[in-house]
Structure 1
Amino acid sequence: MTDLHFECTGARPEPFGASPTLLFGLRIEESDHQPVHAIALRCQIRIEPVRRQYEPEEVGMLGDLFGEPSRWSSTLKPMQFAHSSITVPGFTGTTDIDLPVPCTYDTEVASASYFRALSRGEIPLLFLFSGTVFTGRNGFRAEPIPWHKESSYLMPVDVWQQMIEEYFPNSGWLRLRKDCLESLRRYRSQRALSSWEQVFQELLATAGAKGGD
């Protein structure tokens, strides 16, 4: 059985992607130095929130995901970040590749909401590998990648922040139910507000005034 070892070596934003994408550096080593003809590699990436400490301002932004801090001992469960697949070219010994991972800024997605809440530090990730390796010194055979193959990586929060700033400079977006969006459009039209920022600023100001009564 071909013995592969995987290590995540870094992360950076894809500068020319059509949509937000992170490139994770992967180092793959075949321990017996058997020739690898190719790998059809699949990767599942999970966030492990229990593996980091949280600043007070971060705690306040994570209530929608994990509830009250008093419950975090039972609610800080691993969450799905992404799936990615890539074909790794042939090599002998060790090879380095970039694994492209499409990302979303949709705050209704738990991973994006989690990333958005973090201000500094690192994001604990776990890479779970599967797929098929094509190998053989005197022939050609296909072998499955065992399910226990994995790699941990602490991604700096500022890598995520840099990617979002590159694709959505000084901006963001919200996904709304259609009837809610139509109500906001009517509100904007009736008050002749020139931008969506004005709509939300006015609504927030009104809510603030009511909250102070």
Structure 2
Amino acid sequence: MRIEVHGVEPAAPAAAPALDFLLRVHADAPVRALTLATQLRIDADERDYDEDARRRLEGLFGPPETWGRNVSSLLWARTVTHVPAFTGSAPATLTVPCTYDFDVAAATYLHGLPGGEVPLRFLFTGTVFYLDDGRLQAACLPWDTEADHRMPVRAWKELMERHFPRTAWIRLEHDTFDRLYAHRVRHTLLGWDDTVRSLLETSGG
């Protein structure tokens, strides 16, 4: 069995941000069903980075002089896709939820890229169901079933802009949020942007 990735588009309709990767599954024999488990990884060491990108990603990979040992593959997602019966080849859609949580390395990486392409590797496992002399049989996908795809960075950035226009998200502990909220009330600030800006101005940031 061979699996190709030939495109990506925003999942629609979707209440939360997600990308649909468009697959084409090829099989030598008729398939009754396929349960496809995918580990999606970002091969961060398979692209070049300019000075701007290195600055934006320093929090993830460290200073530029350490990138030779620190830049490596990042796990983006694990998904399960069910493909119905087909003969020869069939399309399939692999939906990947996306987050703006900067505690997730993949989100930090994708946000930090100014442009270009993201080198992706799809590692597939799963179970193929087929007929043999009229009896339903099951077999595991070979361990080396995988595919590469270079996703335009704009696919992720445009998705985030659609769901969170001109904003980004950070997660705070309750105690930190309570102190931030108290600062906002004490200084009669209108919104959270004003609150954070006032702290940055005070600290000289």
TM-score normalised per structure 1: 0.93
TM-score normalised per structure 2: 0.96
Write out aligned runs for 1:64-83 (5 A): 64-83=59-78
CA–CA separation in structure 2 for the residues paired with 1:37 and 1:14:
26
CA–CA separation in structure 1 for the residues paired with 2:70 and 2:25:
34
Superposed structure 1 runs of 4+ greater than 3 Å apart: none
Q: Deviations over 1:46-93 (max 9, x none)?
A: 011000011211110111111111111111111110011111011101
Gaps of 5+ in 1: none
CA–CA separation in structure 2 for the residues paired with 1:137 and 1:90:
15
Task: Work out the percentage of aligned pairs sharing the same amino acid.
Answer: 39
> Which residue of 136, 160, 163 maps to 1:164?
160
Write out aligned runs for 1:64-213 (5 A): 64-136=59-131, 138-139=133-134, 140-208=136-204
Deviation, 1:153, is 0.6
CA–CA separation in structure 2 for the residues paired with 1:163 and 1:137:
44
Gaps of 5+ in 2: none
Q: Secondary structure at the match of 2:66?
A: helix
Deviation, 1:203, is 1.2
Q: CA RMSD in A?
A: 1.1
Deviation, 1:131, is 0.8
CA–CA separation in structure 2 for the residues paired with 1:100 and 1:48:
19
When structure 1 is superposed on structure 2, of 133-142 and 166-175 the one drifting more is 133-142
Aligned residue pair count: 204
Residue 46 of structure 2: aligned partner: 51
Deviation, 1:170, is 1.5
